[in-house]
Structure 1
């Protein structure tokens, strides 16, 4: 057997000393093999592959056009190892790990503004209510020229966001250019814990509510309950649209909590995987915020993961009508596994199934009523369309029904939402006729 170069032998020794304990740790929890039984080949280290890995490592170290740190090569190897498994498994460095934590918990240290790039300039989209940004008077379309002493014209959006975020209690200076002002303004802010809202609600018309869930964070279930109570302040709802379009998913427990808000019993979702603790079942409890209100669930190709769990559960339980277009089809479960160095893994460990046993993975949720995206055009009344109520001095009905509000601006721009409202009204008409 030809002798290996000394450098390669050194690298192999270093790599095996690292990889062998890790492999033994992975094997240790497996069931003990009976005495005399042949060893499971899966438990053996792939020596030839480790040798090839060490050789590639050494050739890069020796021949690549510029020097590369050992830690960078190893981290890149781990990234590649995970990225080749499926699109959702990944290695998380400390920045990615913290960003994922913030997105799932819905809170971070910052000043409370949503920003975007407009005409090449960092621009305020909207200040979040009751945050340092809103209290300081920042306005939509303010241009942010500098963050502390850093000009923003060469920063990416993510780089700018990272600069504005920081530990609560720390100071930050923003130099902004406002429309109508002749000179830039400098605003000093103190960072606070910012809690994002993943739920928005409004009345489309009297009696008909709209509930938008943009993603599933740890507090989304609580926010849905609060929104339902606000919508019912003026009386019970005749119907509700639950909008899950372009919802990328999020925390599994939050999806269970949202589905539970509309169900008082039965299975919501279950998971299956290789490990015993990856097999889980989630069912609805008796305490439910809205068990009776007629429900239409809107989905589209951007509805994924946790959004598909909610839509699938409500569809299988015959709790509401799913409307829109087929969902994305991400039915896999990712566990976040912290590592000792402050980084982590996002690893696919199981698959989701709806109460009726349908796999969401690569299948998605088919709507009960398919409605493609469009624009609802509301015809404006012309002078030729005169009604009795338009005549001066007309008599009012003795038992006038509650007045209709103006059509929601959201309805004017959203054909799918308009069709969902029409369906709710039709269901209400049928319910009244059956009751009579």
Structure 2
């Protein structure tokens, strides 16, 4: 069996400026070339260089700017429930310090603060903020209730104190704010602040942040089983290949009779599923029945990232459907590629990225490296030095040059676009489908003291040939969104050695930042974004079955050193 090769990912700083379709049961790959621990370490290093958290904040913040006493009408009612000012102040200080060096465009703390405070009027129209003669003035029903001196433009501590004081006084004067609650006030503050930035920067409140983190990392410890109800019996519907149940004899279709000795009879699926969850490392005994025989399996619960890669064979081709890029996607891909290379007579791979909304950038880069011998997979550029990287890969192509088709559609976004662009620009795969979404901005995540998270856009992504993904997206070499007759014409011309897509593909590769929107729209019009159909797979099989079509489609990508008419 071919040994799975994990690639080396090198992030260099850059200058500013089918047939019997059935899901495989995966075997754990024997890692070669680089020890598995080293591979995991490389991933950790990559994550640390592109993800920031509250630990990046100044260790010793400055004291807040001295503030004058309140107008007497703004003094708090001691019987009125107040805000948790310590939490509020810490969130403000952490968020402002996190934002300032990382946003794509440079803004002062003054900008962030005023943008957020203007959200008060959305919570309560009777509240307003004004800046006059060096003072911040809070008005309630057109009456000034607080005046504070304006801190220096980038005084994090001063602005944190001012915002906290203003929100506290506004709370005392606004029943609407008190009804909203402190979490709602924070949400309103950050919603208004981020309205002035890009569409992807956002504030995630504590409850939702916990859910998001669980999705990314695997969440609560469990057995890694999906249960379902079949003829009044609770059965195993699926076994997560990333979970502790995978190496055991537990399998889909088995009836679950008991968990830790508790009978599942007359129990709901949700109840039995909850029995499978518990502290990481704790034991759970699962009694199952198959073909009239009962067995009990004991395993240790573990955090289980969701499966993101699913595979099946279709004739001589293997289809790998990647639904997202989470913490384990590259490792899942490595295992599946290892299996694929042992399929007798395999003639090509189809990577299905349709509907894939993205995920972890490093996972997309690492996945591309499994199919590239070497070269640049992506470039990221931002104001923060830690956001600037050339993501170069080396370590060996696990597929030994096997032809690859990448399926995309109008919903393919972010990390999925990065993978498609990397394989396309390196002439390692042919992209089939329609123009993709065009999300080429990367967010870094900051965890706030209250458990919330800030997703802040801090870098732009460039494809290996230097064109921006944001707004433009990936233009396919074979377009399936213009109808069956047009697709047939393209395939016929490919068979004769001509790629109809050359014009729009080359035009897309010539685009350089800053992007001219009208020019980008004209390029995308050549192959409009659409939801994928069966035509995508039909075209993929055609190219893999006819090497002349595949070679012609590859030729639509310009050489890396080819001169560009616009001098880019």
State the TM-score, normalized to the length of structure 2.
0.52
- Mapped to 1, the partners of 2:446 and 2:334 lie a distance apart of 30
Task: After TM superposition, give the deviation of residue 309 of structure 1 in Å.
Answer: 0.2
> Shift in Å at residue 358 of structure 1?
2.1
8 A Cα contact 2:200 2:456, kept in partner: no
What is the SS of the residue equivalent to 2:213? helix
Aligned residue in 1 for 2:338: 229
Q: Map 1:42-53 to 2 at 5 A.
A: 42-43=154-155, 45=159, 53=167
After superposition, where does 1:301-312 map in structure 2 within 5 Å?
301-312=410-421
Q: Quote the residue 1:276 is aligned against.
A: 385
In 2: Cα distance, 1:309 partner to 1:267 partner: 11
Partner of residue 426 from structure 1, selected from 534, 546, 560 = 546
Counterpart contact for 2:420–2:431, Cα < 8 Å: yes
How far apart are 1:299 and its partner, in Å? Answer: 0.7
- Following the alignment from structure 1 to structure 2, what is the Cα–Cα distance between the partners of residues 78 and 373? 44
Q: Is the 8 A contact 1:82 1:91 kept in 2?
A: no
Match of 2:171 among 57, 65, 69: 57
Among 190, 198, 212, the residue aligned to 2:308 = 198
Match of 1:250 in 2: 359
Structure 2 gaps of 5+ residues are 1-69, 103-150, 290-295, 485-532, 552-568
**C-alpha distance 101-126 of structure 1, shift in aligned 2 (>3 A):** same
Q: Say whether residues 1:90 and 2:159 are aligned partners.
A: no
CA 1:285 to 1:134, structure 2 compared with 1: closer, same or farther past 3 Å? closer
Matched, 1:6 2:75: yes
Is 2:191 the partner of 1:80?
Answer: yes
Once the two structures are TM-superposed, the CA of residue 306 in structure 1 deviates from its matched residue by 0.7
- Alignment partner for residue 368 of structure 1, among 477, 493, 496? 477
Q: Do residues 359 (structure 1) and 468 (structure 2) align?
A: yes
- For the pair 1:417 / 2:537, whether they are aligned, the reply is yes
**Cα gap change, 1:342 to 1:416, in 2 (>3 Å):** same
State the structure with bigger RCO (CA 8 A, min sep 6), 1 or 2: 2
CA distance in 1: counterparts of 2:161 and 2:311, whole angstroms: 59
After superposition, the Cα gap between the structure-2 partners of 1:8 and 1:334, relative to the gap in structure 1 and judged at 3 Å, is farther
The 1:154–1:89 alpha-carbon spacing in structure 2 relative to 1, beyond 3 Å, is farther
CA offset digits 1:217-237 (Å, max 9, x no partner): 233223222222222224574
Distance 2:247 2:338 in 1: 26
Q: Is the 8 A contact 2:309 2:323 kept in 1?
A: yes
Match of 2:444 among 315, 324, 335: 335
Residues in 1 aligned to 2:306 and 2:84: alpha-carbon distance in whole angstroms: 49
Offset, 1:321 = 1.1
- How big is each residue's C-alpha offset from its partner over 1:158-208, in whole Å with a ceiling of 9 and x where there is no partner? x9988864324558899xxx9xxxxxxxx99977223543223333223x2
The answer as to 2:161 corresponding to 1:41 is no
Are the structure 2 counterparts of residues 143 and 349 from structure 1 closer, same or farther at C-alpha, using a change threshold of 3 Å? Answer: farther
Inter-CA distance 430–27: structure 2 relative to 1 (3 Å threshold):
closer
Q: Cα–Cα, structure 1 residues 326 and 6, in superposed 2: closer, same or farther, change >3 Å?
A: same
CA deviation map 1:120-175 (0-9, x unaligned)? xx99754446865997978669999xxx99x99999xxx9988864324558899x
Please list the CA deviations of residues 396-421 of structure 1 after superposition, one character each: whole Å capped at 9, or x if unmatched.
Answer: xxxxxxxxxxxxxxxxx943212201
Task: Find the aligned partners of 2:99 and 2:438 in 1 and give their Cα distance.
Answer: 33
1:166 pairs with 2:278? yes
Contact 1:171 1:190 in 2 (8 A): yes
Secondary structure of 2:334's counterpart equals helix
CA contact (8 A) 2:216 2:327 kept: yes
User: Which range is displaced more, 13-22 or 303-312?
Assistant: 13-22
Change (3 A) 1:363 1:55: farther
Is residue 2:172 matched to residue 1:103?
Answer: no
Task: Describe the SS at the equivalent of 1:309.
Answer: helix
- CA distance in 1 between partners of 2:212 and 2:161 (Å): 35
Q: Give, in whole Å, the separation in 1 of the partners of 2:99 and 2:187.
A: 24
Distance 1:115 1:428 in 2: 47
Aligned residues: CA RMSD: 5.2
